Structure 1
Amino acid sequence: MTQRNEAWPAGTPCWADLTASDPGRTQEFYHRVLGWEYSAPDPERGGYRNALVDGAPVAGLSPAAPDLTGVPHVWQVYLATARIDLCSERVLAAGGTQLMEPVEVGRFGWMGVWQDPTGASFGMWQAGEHIGFAAVDVPGSVAWCDLTTPDHHAARDFYAQVFGYHYEDIGEEGVPYATFTVPHGGRPAGGIGGTDPGAENAPAIWSVCFQVDDVDAAVQRVRDAGGSVMEDPFDFEYGRLAVVAGPDRESFAIMTPAGM
């Protein structure tokens, strides 16, 4: 396992969290599927807890607020920033919308939520004591985050203006896709792609992919734990991947990188 101790470069997907209608059920699901352990719920943060791999944070879980009944449950991706106030100004100047103004989360850092011009919501995280993902390249950790949107051109322009993304096109068979690298980043940090041309009214959404040691075995664990399989395992250039859903129908991908 690689354990990270420094804040992530600005623009890098650095955290993901989920609100759960039944936190106990959701914890058990991800424990069975990804092997997560958990920190104690923080009563000052509404019962928020960190999911842990070998004691290092890899994601967050929180009880859903009572007034959010009926709101879809999704994995929220956060992008790192060194100055959330200045970055928020750039978001608005580039055509984004603020959904939740920046708030200080105690000694841990600052967070807020915005929407890009194509309709995808994303968080920003300014690290304090909590840097975000602290375990990488290990089963149970986040392997990749990307944005799928019907207007990938507008999305690319927006994130380039806000975070300085540099793109490398790798899409094929009529579906555009590009990896992005952030300034001072050593490797691709994520991707932006277009939606399937055959899918009508496909939403713009940031998605998360978790690493597993055996995708096929993990898919069976999803089924056994009460989840569902949205896309069966398939091989591609970078490994083997499946798309599944958890207890609240929240979708996420699981992947075994090539060479494991």
Structure 2
Amino acid sequence: MTQRNEAWPAGTPCWADLTASDLGRTQEFYRRVLGWEYGSPDPEHGGYCNALVDGRPAAGLSPAAPDLTGVPHVWQVHLASDRSDLCAERVLAAGGTQLVEPVEVGRLGWMGIFQDPTGATFGTWKAGEHIGFTAVDVPGTVAWCDLMTPDHHTARDFYAQVFGYHYEDIGEEGVPYATFTVPRGERPAGGIGGTDPAAENAPAVWSVCFQVEDVDAAVQRVRDAGGAVMEDPLDFQYGRLAVVAGPDRESFSIMAPA
């Protein structure tokens, strides 16, 4: 298994987590679909737990707080940050909005929640003892994170100002899409693209894609575990991909790389 043992460069998608209405049900779903095991829930942080691949953190799950209603059940992407306070200043200066002021999460690190000018929500994470993903490039781990937004020009300008993204356009058939590389990054870290022009009122959203060995077999596991298939498997330049949804209708992709 490929392991990451040092903090991710600033701007890199370094973590993804999900708030579940029924944590046990959600854990069982992802155990069956992605093969996850789990660390012990942390009472100090509301029962938050890490999903593990071969004992290494691959994502996070949290039970919904009983006093909070209407919390969206979506996979939240977190971008690495060198300095939480400076990052927050850059977000505001570039036209973003601060939803949750950066706070210290014990010895694990610092977390903030923001919204970019196109309406997409993202987290920031300054690593302490927890650097984010340490299990990478194997089935069950995050393979890719990207932002799809109706206003990709504004989004690209925003993330370039905040994190120094450098873009390479790879879009086809009139749908704009670009991979981005972060300063000190060794390879493309994610992507930003435009939503389908035919989809009216499409929201701006960061999304997550998990690696699997066999997409068609994983799609069947989704169905068997009570999930839904949003887009059937298809082949594309980089492998085979499907879009599915979990117990709370949270959408995510699964991919077998070419």
Alignment partner, residue 145 of structure 2: 145
Alignment of 1:162-241 (within 5 A): 162-241=162-241
AA at the equivalent of 1:64:
A
Q: What are the Cα deviations for residues 10-61 of structure 1, in whole angstroms up to 9, with x where unaligned?
A: 0000000000000000000000000000000000000000000000000000
**Shift of residue 167 of structure 1?**
0.2
Paired AA for residue 11 in structure 1: G
Report the counterpart of residue 131 of structure 1 in structure 2: 131
TM-aligned CA deviation for residue 65 of structure 1: 1.6
In 1, distance between residues paired with 2:240 and 2:54?
A: 24
Alignment match, 2:75: 75
What's the counterpart of residue 64 of structure 2? 64
Q: Which runs of 5+ in 1 are unaligned?
A: none
**Rounded Cα–Cα distance in structure 2 between residues aligned with 1:54 and 1:79:** 24
Supply the distance in 2 between the matched residues of 1:221 and 1:237 (Cα, whole angstroms): 24
Runs of 4+ in 1 over 6 A off after TM superposition: none
What is the CA deviation profile of residues 178-209 of structure 1, one whole-angstrom value per residue up to 9, with x for unaligned ones?
Answer: 00000010100000000001000000000000
- Displacement after TM superposition at 1:71 (Å): 3.2
Residue 83 of structure 1 deviates from its aligned partner by 0.4
Deviates more, 1:59-68 or 1:97-106: 59-68
User: What corresponds to 2:53 in structure 1?
Assistant: 53
Structure 2: tracts of 5 or more residues without a match: none
Identical pairs, percent: 87
Q: Secondary structure at the match of 2:184?
A: coil
- Mapped to 2, the partners of 1:157 and 1:134 lie a distance apart of 29
Partner of 2:246: 246
Cα distance per residue 1:113-168 (max 9 Å; x no partner): 00000000000000001000001100000000000000000000000000000000
Instruction: Please report how far the alpha carbon of residue 95 of structure 1 lies from its aligned counterpart in structure 2 after TM superposition.
Output: 0.3
Counterpart CA distance in 2 for 1:67 and 1:174 is: 45
Letter in 1 for 2:55: G
RMSD: 0.6
Equivalences for 1:111-126 in 2 at 5 Å? 111-126=111-126
Letter in 2 for 1:238: Y
What SS does structure 1 have at the residue aligned with 2:218? Answer: helix
* Paired position in structure 2 for 1:110: 110
Structure 1 position 232, deviation (Å) = 0.3
Q: How many residue pairs align between the two structures?
A: 258
Q: Does the alignment pair 1:43 with 2:46? A: no
Supply the AA of the counterpart residue of 1:58.
A
TM-score in terms of structure 1 length: 0.98
- Tell me, what secondary structure is at the counterpart of 2:198? coil
